[in-house]
Amino acid sequence: MVTEDRKQNGLLLSQSITHNSTLSSVQKRFSRFGLVDSRSECRAAQQWTNDLETRCESIDQSVETLSGGNQQKVVVAKWLVCDAEVFLFDEPTRGIDVAARRRIYRLLESLAAEGKACVIVSSDLEELFETCDAIAVMSDGKLVRTYQRDEWSYDQIMQDSFSGFVK
């Protein structure tokens, strides 16, 4: 799960890009002596830093020195390194610039093309329209309706979003 609040729940800000990128898969990087294989860790961090076009001086750089968009890319890398089949993105582009947003959108497309499931929670309807094949609308904790790409409209989704609060 790529969390909505990268600073509070997604990153160890004082730690390096390497440590943050590989934190979720550290158990895969143990040597036969039970120590972390730092070469494997660095290779994985460098691969995702390159693939996500993270702007940094080095993968040893502290995450707190990165821009918000590049911090978000490190959060995403942390979960991509696990090679899961299902990814949950909670507000994946909140607080990042347009270029980083476009990179995240390209990533979502490539994951879907690989057969991975991407579930996106977003309050940004334009983001959902651009990235999703289907949109499920919830209101007051209940599923109201699921739309396929050719069925949705801004007005209908907004109406459904607030339907659970109208008494």
The CATH number covering residue 80 comes to 3.40.50.300
Q: How far apart are CA 42 and CA 15, in angstroms?
A: 14
Residues 62 and 14 sit within 8 Å (Cβ to Cβ): yes
Q: Output 120-125 pairs: Cβ under 8 A, ≥24 positions apart.
A: 120/89, 120/92, 121/4, 121/88, 121/89, 121/90, 121/91, 122/89, 122/91, 122/92, 122/93, 123/91, 124/91, 124/93, 124/94, 125/154, 125/157, 125/158
Asked if residue 40 is part of any domain, the answer here is yes
pLDDT for residue 77:
92
141: left (phi over 0), alpha (psi -120 to 50) or beta: left
Number of separate domains in the chain: 1
Q: Which of 54, 83, 75, 107 is nearest to 4 (CA)?
A: 75
Q: How many CB atoms lie within 10 A of CB 75?
A: 23
pLDDT in tens, the chain (167 residues): 888 888 888 899 999 999 999 888 777 766 667 777 788 889 999 999 999 999 999 999 999 999 988 999 999 999 988 888 999 999 998 888 888 888 889 999 999 999 999 999 998 999 999 999 999 999 999 999 999 999 999 999 999 999 988 76
Range of the domain at 38: 6-132
pLDDT for residue 30:
67
Asked if residue 12 is part of any domain, the answer here is yes
pLDDT for residue 100:
84
Q: How far apart are CA 124 and CA 13, in angstroms?
A: 26
pLDDT for residue 128:
95
pLDDT for residue 167:
65
Asked if residue 94 is part of any domain, the answer here is yes
Asked if residue 75 is part of any domain, the answer here is yes
φ and ψ at 116, to 5 degrees? Answer: -80, 150
CA angle 45, 48, 52 (to 5 degrees): 140
Asked if residue 76 is part of any domain, the answer here is yes
Asked if residue 158 is part of any domain, the answer here is no
pLDDT for residue 4:
82
Asked if residue 156 is part of any domain, the answer here is no
Residues 1 and 88 sit within 8 Å (Cβ to Cβ): yes
pLDDT for residue 130:
92
Asked if residue 163 is part of any domain, the answer here is no
pLDDT for residue 31:
67
